Amino acid sequence: MTNRIALVLGLLIVAAIAVDVALYGSAHLIFLGKKLDEFIEWLAFWR
């Protein structure tokens, strides 16, 4: 992956989060963050 592709993907993710927060608020981002943390711990177990 080149730096340009990584930058574009990063900007797309940040823009998607910004639009999501603007339209729906940020309460569900906490839920998704907790689920992501659990998923990362689960993946680390299987490593």
Instruction: For residue range 15-45, list pLDDT tens digits in order.
Output: 999 998 999 888 888 888 899 999 999 998 8
Q: How far apart are CA 15 and CA 9, in angstroms?
A: 10
pLDDT interval class at 4 (50, 70, 90): very high
What pLDDT score was predicted for residue 43?
92
| Domains in the chain: boundaries | 3-46
